[in-house]
Amino acid sequence: SRIIGTGDIIVIDEKLAVRVQDAMDADSVVRYFFDENEI
């Protein structure tokens, strides 16, 4: 898994994209996304 740069966009599904912040990698974004949506 490559490190994602500032401003890169991860598409989690066709209706959702996450703009990546500084120093975040793909795994962090995925964990953040699922943590926010498990509630």
Domain with 16 in it: 1-39
What is the per-residue pLDDT for 20? Answer: 53
Number of structural domains the chain divides into: 1
What the block records as the tokens of 13 is: 């599904």
What does the pLDDT read at residue 31? 75
| pLDDT tens sequence across 2-35 | 666 666 766 665 555 555 555 556 677 677 667 7
- What's the rounded Cα separation, in Å, for the pair 6 and 25? 10
